[in-house]
């Protein structure tokens, strides 16, 4: 819940709102990739112990997570999340898009978890060995172009209209220094 601080105007600790449609899309994608039916539970509860996430990355990139704790203490279950994070980092998900363990396990920032999983779905498109279901929009293909030196210099003789048109302009009447202002 956002907190208002009277010393500093504005709301503090505010996070993006959760998007239930995106969360459902993520869960549907996980089911499609893993081939397993997920439990009918809230989004964060399905993902909380990291088991589903580890199974997901192992389907995308086999043997990414060697050991998955299905039972144990909170600390042992949090290790699943950390193993998942290490695996997706190695797979190519940027650090700034990877959620913190507490974001999921302690439900601090569930939208960041969703962003991370969308990022993973996007990165799978860069790996030709991955042929499974897609998550999110298709990535743009590279459209590299080659220009000759002549083509690059062709515009140099043209006057860009954004530069203005100065025909007839002069500085007469702009004697701003030393003149007195008449009121």
Structure confidence at residue 8 (pLDDT): 46
Would you say residue 154 has pLDDT above 50?
yes
The domain spanning residue 24 has which CATH number?
1.10.418.10
19: Cβ–Cβ under 8 A, 6 or more apart, which residues?
111, 114
Q: Is the residue at 177 inside a domain?
A: no
pLDDT tens digit sequence for 61-85: 999 999 999 998 999 999 999 999 9
Q: What is the mean pLDDT of residues 127-142?
A: 81
Give the per-residue pLDDT at 49. Answer: 94
Whole-angstrom CA distances from 29 to 5, 22, 105, 157, 158 are: 40, 10, 21, 54, 52
Domain that holds residue 97: 20-125
How many structural domains are present in the chain?
Answer: 1
- Mean pLDDT check: name the lowest of 27-36, 72-81, 174-183: 174-183
Q: Does any domain span residue 57?
A: yes
Q: Is residue 79 part of a domain?
A: yes
Question: 1 pLDDT band (50/70/90 cuts)?
Answer: very low
Residue 62 lies in a domain: yes
Residue 4 token pair:
């208002």
Asked whether residue 85 is assigned to any structural domain, the reply reads yes
> What is the model's pLDDT at position 136?
77
Phi, psi of 20 (to 5 degrees): -65, -30
Residue 150 lies in a domain: no
Residue 37 pLDDT class (50, 70, 90 cuts): very high
Q: Give the list of residues 6+ apart from residue 139 with CB closer than 8 angstroms, or none.
A: 122, 125, 126
The answer to whether residue 121 sits within a structural domain is yes
Per-residue pLDDT at 146 = 84
């Amino acid at each position: 819940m956002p907190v208002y601080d009277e010393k500093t105007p504005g709301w503090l600790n505010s996070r993006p709102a959760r998007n239930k449609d995106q969360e459902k899309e993520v869960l549907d994608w996980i089911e499609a990739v893993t081939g397993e039916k997920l439990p009918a539970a809230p989004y964060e509860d399905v993902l909380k112990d990291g088991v589903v996430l580890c199974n997901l990355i192992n389907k995308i990139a086999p043997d990414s997570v060697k050991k998955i704790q299905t039972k144990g203490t909170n600390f042992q279950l949090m290790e699943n999340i950390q193993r998942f994070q290490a695996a997706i980092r190695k797979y190519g998900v940027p650090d700034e898009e990877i959620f913190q363990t507490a974001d999921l396990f302690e439900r601090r920032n569930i939208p960041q978890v969703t962003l991370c999983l969308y990022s993973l779905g996007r990165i799978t498109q860069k790996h030709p060995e991955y042929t499974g279901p897609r998550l999110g929009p298709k990535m743009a293909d590279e459209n590299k172009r080659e220009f000759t030196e002549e083509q690059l210099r062709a515009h140099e003789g043209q006057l860009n209209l954004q530069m203005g048109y100065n025909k007839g302009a002069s500085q007469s009447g702009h004697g701003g220094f030393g003149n007195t202002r008449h009121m």
